[in-house]
Amino acid sequence: MSVLVMREVSRDHGAGPNLVHALRGVSLHVEAGEFVAVMGPSGSGKSTLLNLAGGLDRPTGGRVLVEGVDLSTLGKAELARLRRRSIGYVFQDLNLIPALTAAENVMLPRELDGVRTAQARREALRALEEVGVPELADRFPDEMSGGQQQRVAIARALVGERRLMLADEPTGALDTATGEEVMRLLRARCDAGAACLMVTHESRHAAWADRVVFLRDGVIVDATGSPAGPESLLEGAR
Amino acid sequence: MHTAYVSIRHGLLALLSQGPRYGYQLRAEFEASTGATWPLNIGQVYSTLSRLERDGLVTKGEADAEGRFVYNITPAGEEEVRRWFTTPVARADRPRDELAIKLAMAVTTPGVDVRDVVQAQRTATLRTLRDLTRLKADAPAVPAGPAESAWRLVLESMIFQAEAEVRWLDHCEAFMTRIDVGFRPAVRVADEPPAPEPSAPAPGRTGERR
């Protein structure tokens, strides 16, 4: 099943002589278990695409569906609930709350969602375990390295079985080795069934995805296609 | 090719500096260290060994019961291995870069859209990069032994080369967009809402490409 469907999505900013088409009729599917990277020069519409996919912005044309739900049919509160329950975000600037420990940061979206504290903590510890930093649970962000903070941010994006991960330059401030660890984590989440859409300008990181989509001037200009599996080899033979 | 010959010759010498070996052993160990990236045929191994013998860098021992020969490195061979490890590889030894030539020609040939040439190459190189990364992802995060570490370094070398090519292609595209040669008119940066624009659009930029 497609976890994310974008159908002929457009986003305009401004009007009249200042009208800018940030996205122009972009169609994109991300299946469960699939990892898709978006590349393109700055100003090509990458971040706009990600914001629309995550319901942080609304399209001026076309439809966005997350787990089969058309985001345009949702009211503000419903949209916020869907964002908390189905979508995990990983940003370049990690957005951890400095006054909260790692576990509390990870618990936050679950508690906002009405989950009891004890249950939210159990889930948070499991998520921290999954990203390999259970020992950081009671540390504050300023007591962690950049790589550790990014792991905690990913744990927060994973907690509560969210099926769509959106990542905007998730390795931005990290060195090559730590960046690779982050990519291994995202890859493992996809192999375990999550769908991931990642914006990056680093080909080294985009290469961890199943598919790379190239945006230019708000239009998809090219895509790598998925790696050759047995089915696609058969297709080639036909 | 000259470079390939030199690296097989020194690769075999380096293996022999660890102790005497049979020809078939040398082939197997060379391929294990380089992840079978540069497969050798046994004929190449023996012709290289006979040239090394001729140059006094190895000696051939007596035939064993099965008629196989053991090769030993000589002191001159040891010296050659030391020299190889301490001498950097010269860039000039590398073959001509077809892609750079193609891009240069694309820029100067009328009717060729450089952006399309760049994009086609970028997609192909990204596909290669993804397949290489898949090999890395499937291997354990920490290599199990020296042969696996050696293979990982060879793999990383190819990943870095592919990455460098993509970065160079990005640069070519940005550079050509800036000087606006051979490109269709550029569209205004579109991610952000536009700032109030006092001046009229530059002549020739209609904002429509297709």
What is the predicted pLDDT for the residue at B91?
64
Q: Any idea where the domains of chain A sit in the sequence?
A: 1-73+178-238, 88-162
What is the predicted pLDDT for the residue at B138?
86
> Are the C-beta atoms of B180 and B160 separated by less than 8 Å?
no
Contacts of A187 in chain B (CB under 8 A): 137
Torsion of CA B144, B149, B151, B155, to 10 degrees: 110
Taking residues B55-68, what's their average pLDDT? Answer: 90
Q: What 3-state DSSP class applies to A47?
A: helix
Q: Among A134-138, B31-35, B166-170, which stretch is predicted with the lowest mean pLDDT?
A: B31-35
Beta carbons of A203 and B127 less than 8 Å apart: no
Contacts of B160 (CB under 8 A, 6+ apart): none
What is the predicted pLDDT for the residue at B5?
59
pTM of the full structure: 0.76
| Residue A224 contacts B where some CB pair is shorter than 8 Å | yes
| Residue A208 contacts B where some CB pair is shorter than 8 Å | yes
Which helix (H) or strand (E) is A214 found in, with range?
strand A211-216
What is the predicted pLDDT for the residue at B187?
44
| Residue A10 contacts B where some CB pair is shorter than 8 Å | no
Say what percent of chain B tops pLDDT 70. Answer: 79
What is the predicted pLDDT for the residue at B1?
40
Q: Which amino acid belongs to residue A214?
A: F
Contacts of A214 in chain B (CB under 8 A): 119, 122-123
Nearest CA in chain A to B165: A203
Contacts of A25 (CB under 8 A, 6+ apart): A8, A9, A10, A61, A62, A219
Q: How far A145 CA lies from chain B's nearest CA (Å)? A: 20
Q: Which CB contacts under 8 angstroms, 24+ apart, belong to B147-153?
A: B147/B32, B147/B33, B150/B32, B150/B33, B150/B34, B150/B35, B151/B32, B151/B33, B151/B34, B151/B35, B151/B37
Beta carbons of A13 and B194 less than 8 Å apart: yes
Q: What 3-state DSSP class applies to B66?
A: coil
> Are the C-beta atoms of A147 and A171 separated by less than 8 Å?
no
What is the predicted pLDDT for the residue at A170?
85
Beta carbons of A44 and B130 less than 8 Å apart: no
Confidence bin at B197 (pLDDT 50/70/90): very low
> Are the C-beta atoms of B26 and B16 separated by less than 8 Å?
yes
Kindly give the residue spans of alpha helices, DSSP state H, lying in B17-57. Answer: 23-33, 42-54
Predicted complex ipTM exceeds 0.85? no
What is the predicted pLDDT for the residue at B94?
55
Q: How far B168 CA lies from chain A's nearest CA (Å)? A: 11
Beta carbons of A224 and B170 less than 8 Å apart: no
Token pair of B42, please? 């046994």
What is the predicted pLDDT for the residue at A140?
95
Residue-wise pLDDT for B84-106, tens only, equals: 888 877 766 555 678 888 888 88
What is the predicted pLDDT for the residue at B7?
81
Q: Among A122-126, B129-133, B188-192, which stretch is predicted with the lowest mean pLDDT?
A: B188-192
The CA distance from B207 to A109, in Å, is 43
Contacts of B122 in chain A (CB under 8 A): 214, 222
Please report the number of interchain residue pairs, chain A to chain B, with beta-carbon separation below 8 angstroms: 96
| Residue A192 contacts B where some CB pair is shorter than 8 Å | no
Token pair of B30, please? 């060379």
The CA distance from A173 to A187, in Å, is 19
The CA distance from A151 to A45, in Å, is 27
Domain A1-73+178-238 superfamily per CATH: P-loop containing nucleotide triphosphate hydrolases (3.40.50.300)
What is the predicted pLDDT for the residue at B210?
37
> Are the C-beta atoms of B77 and B13 separated by less than 8 Å?
yes
Say what percent of chain B tops pLDDT 90. Answer: 35
Contacts of B167 in chain A (CB under 8 A): 203
> Are the C-beta atoms of A167 and A6 separated by less than 8 Å?
no
Torsion of CA B33, B38, B40, B46, to 10 degrees: -70
Residues of B with CB under 8 A from a CB of A: 119-120, 122-123, 125-127, 129-134, 137, 141, 159, 162-163, 166-167, 170, 173-174, 177, 187-194, 196-197, 209
What is the predicted pLDDT for the residue at A29?
94
Nearest CA in chain A to B136: A208
Nearest CA in chain A to B119: A222
* Residue pLDDT tens, chain A, 238 long: 799 999 999 999 888 888 889 999 999 999 999 999 999 888 889 989 999 999 999 999 999 999 999 999 999 999 998 888 889 888 777 678 999 999 999 999 888 888 899 999 999 999 899 888 999 999 999 999 888 888 899 889 888 878 899 999 888 777 888 888 889 888 988 998 899 999 998 999 999 999 999 998 899 988 888 876 544 444 433 3
Q: Is A224 left (phi over 0), alpha (psi -120 to 50) or beta?
A: alpha
